Amino acid sequence: MDSKTLIESFSDFAKLKNIDRPTMIKILEEVFRSIIRKKYVEDSNFDVIINIDKGDLEIWRFREVVDDESEDIWDYDKIPYSDAIKLQKDLEVGEELAEEINIELDFGRRGILTAKQTLVQKVKDLEKENLFQAYKDKVGDLLIGEVYQVGNREVLLIDGVGNELIMPKSEQIPKDRYRKGDNIRAVVHRVEMINGTPKIILSRTSPVFLERLFELEVPEIDDNVIAIKKIVREPGERAKVAVESFDDRIDPVGACVGMKGSRIHNIVRELENENIDVINFTDNMELYISRALSPAKITSIKIDSEANRVSVFLKPDQVSLAIGKGGQNIKLAGRLIGKEIDVFRDSDGSEEEIDDIALEEFDDEIDSWILDEFRKIGLDTAKSVLSVPVEDLVRRTDLEEETINEVINIFKLEFED
């Protein structure tokens, strides 16, 4: 392979990869300078001239002619007079010898093949770097990818130009089911360079994904008339979205829900029927807490700013609504307002409450410090403890799961008796 064929083949390859002309020339020069250094150690006294259009490549070596007895004759940019006149007869000491390098003869077939392989590798490396930089700027953007491989730990997709995208199991909604050829919407969650290869990670569980869906469905958000203040999610189960309007004439909740729920329904379907509570944001913390715990109706609220905790008091029939299925409502409400929420029952003397049993009635069976842990989070009766999932009790108290299960068994036996 001669230099002309090499440059033409590289030029075609580079164009296929959408490499621009200045970059093509720069890569070619870098590669040939690398093989020059491999043979001559130094390349500073070489000129590499490339004409992409004609497929021409010239390499010139420049050396100063010195006297044969000079101490400099071994320098990389010097040549003894006796050697110089063999190449160009009319040279004198002190003049410069310009010598064109014959690529095929000087570097050989192996050198040119090495150059070709290096060129291809450099283009691939550049392509990876360009992909990394392009997607690094797209973090948080919504895109559509086509599924081409479904695995147990991740789903692989391709974008519109064939780049590979990854959606790990942790970034998939639990109810999602994928088949090869499906078009999937997700956000670019993060972009990593691992061993020189860009990894583009997508997510459907990120709050940002839900935010982008709202921007698609609610023009007022895209027009900056309505702002999304915060989103918290249990992907595929429930989400709370706090919104605020900058125009007093526009109801932010109504705009996000749409006429007869038309806007919110499209989002819910995309999220595998995830329940979405849209809440009107306010700087009034008590009102914000009340809205966050909807649909439960709160009797009163006490805010402990130093401990970053909130105590809410509700009628007995509202406690389960405040806590929600699996403790989802109270967990999401706490994350939305940025505080730990403790629920307390307001006594109303109802028949249901009379049938309940106060925790102090179990002092002879359960250590008082254990019962105090339940009281700290607003649970002062057996039924109120039983209404909260075990995992939520573990999270909100300093009790071990085994201890909590023992207490629950005692309560259940009492009601069975």
Average pLDDT over residues 189-194: 92
Q: What is the pLDDT of residue 417?
A: 62
Average pLDDT over residues 322-336: 87
Question: DSSP letter at 137?
Answer: T
Burial class of 218 by CB neighbour count within 10 A (0 to 12, 13 to 18, 19+):
buried
- Other beta carbons within 10 angstroms of residue 67's beta carbon come to 13
Chain segment 156-181, per-residue pLDDT in tens: 999 988 889 999 999 999 999 999 99
- Indicate the helix (H) or strand (E) that contains 58: strand 56-66
Residues in the chain: 417
Rounded to 5, what percent of the chain is helix, strand, coil?
45, 25, 30
CA–CA gap between residue 174 and residue 235 (Å, rounded): 7
Q: What is the pLDDT of residue 16?
A: 67
- Name residue 228's beta-bridge partners: 243
Delimit the domains of the chain by residue range: 3-135, 138-205, 214-281
Q: How confident is the model at residue 195 (pLDDT cuts 50, 70, 90)?
A: confident
User: For the whole prediction, is pTM greater than 0.75?
Assistant: no
- Pairing status of strand 96-100 against strand 238-245: unpaired
May I ask the CATH class of domain 3-135?
alpha beta
Average pLDDT over residues 362-390: 84
May I ask the CATH class of domain 214-281?
alpha beta
Q: What is the pLDDT of residue 54?
A: 72
Assigned architecture for domain 138-205? Beta Barrel (2.40)
- Kindly report the average pLDDT of the chain as a whole number: 87
Chain segment 228-286, per-residue pLDDT in tens: 999 999 999 999 999 999 998 999 999 999 988 889 999 999 998 999 999 999 999 99
Across 72-76, 138-142, 211-215, 222-226, least confident range: 72-76
Q: In the chain, what percentage of residues exceed pLDDT 70?
A: 94
Select from 215, 153, 208 the least CA-distant residue to 186.
208
Residue 406 scores a pLDDT above 70: yes
Quick check: bond before 168 cis, omega within 30? no
Average pLDDT over residues 278-299: 93
Question: DSSP letter at 284?
Answer: -
Residue 152 scores a pLDDT above 70: yes
| Tokens 């093509």 belong to residue | 24
Domain 138-205 identical in fold to domain 214-281: no
CB neighbour burial string for 199-211, b if at least 16 within 10 angstroms, e if fewer: ebbbbbbbbbbbb
If you write DSSP's letter for every residue of 365-408 in order, what string do you get? Answer: TS-HHHHHHHHHTT--BHHHHHTS-HHHHHHHSS--HHHHHHHH
If you write DSSP's letter for every residue of 304-333 in order, what string do you get? Answer: ETTTTEEEEEE-HHHHHHHH-GGGHHHHHH
Q: What is the pLDDT of residue 70?
A: 87
Residue 55 scores a pLDDT above 80: no
Average pLDDT over residues 280-308: 91
Q: How confident is the model at residue 350 (pLDDT cuts 50, 70, 90)?
A: low
| Tokens 């392989």 belong to residue | 117
Q: How confident is the model at residue 30 (pLDDT cuts 50, 70, 90)?
A: confident
